Chain A
Amino acid sequence: MPENSVSADLQTESDKMVEWTDFERNTIQDIFSRIEYDVVGPAALARCLVVYPWTQRYFGGFGNLYNAAAIKGNPMVSKHGTTILNGLERAVKNMDDITNTYAELSVLHSEKLHVDPDNFKLLADCLTIVVAAQLGNEFTGEVQAAFQKFLAVVVSALGRQYR
């Protein structure tokens, strides 16, 4: 399967804690306190469905995803985008224990939703691009590194329970 994403691959083993610098912690808390979940979430999910159209396979029940305009205006996409951001907030609030915080969500995505974990990276890349647009030149290289590290840990935790 060709790799489509460049989010950093982070291997978390059950006995290895992710270490966060103060800068990384503050950056993540700051970003999530500033972004509007019901703007960024829908924008990121819509972008993912447009830029990587094969991800639409998981949203067969969402109705009209026929083109970019339809995707952007689709209320189910918007609602789900917000849901995703609220889900991310749980990781933001539990940065030292993301793996356990997401254990149930991981099982859900694997056993019930049957999402290929590679797709998490695609959404993570779109989220990075949307947050970059929101923050403009405040989205420095250092901020990007912290944000992508956070998303890599999230992606890893979500893929953890797959078997």
Chain B
Amino acid sequence: SLSEKNKAAVKALWSKIGKSSDAIGNDALSRMIVVYPQTKTYFSHWPEVTPGSPHIKAHGKKVMGGIALAVTKIDDLKTGLSELSEQHAYKLRVDPANFKTLNHCILVVISTMFPKEFTPEAHVSLDKFLSGVALALADRYR
């Protein structure tokens, strides 16, 4: 579980990178569909599923909005993200393995954009946090 030190590290990192969240979301999703082509299956309802497309940009913004929300609910992710969990469980039905996949892409993007800030200490806290988010999102699945 997230220690107070982890939570502080996540909030500190977010204060530096949060304003770039649209760009992060776009890059992370664009990267994900290239590195893990099987993830494109979730977007078959879009006219095109290509890096940097308007759909990807908009969706990246939406996803990072969820992450931003999670930062504010860091003390109780399960409760804080319960609505999003219901949405993912009943409507979107994304296999939870993909949360880990996208989390990895988010970490890679942050590493490329903020190499100095993304120290090993920041990395472990953010990885724990994103894992917690993934767990909370999957909470209502079954």
Chain A residues close to B by CB (< 8 Å)? 3, 6, 8, 46-47, 50-51, 68, 71-72, 125, 128-130, 132-137, 139-142, 144-145, 148
Contact = CB atoms under 8 A, between A and B. Distances in A.
Contacts of B33: 141
Nearest to B103: A6
Interface string B77-92: 0000000000000000
A129 B111 contact: yes
Contact of B112 (A125, A135, A142): A135
B104 interface: yes
A47 B112 contact: no
Interface residues of B, number: 24
B35 A47 contact: no
Contacts of B31: 140-141, 144
B20 interface: no
A66 to B, nearest CB: 14
Contacts of A133: 111-112, 115, 118
A141 B120 contact: no
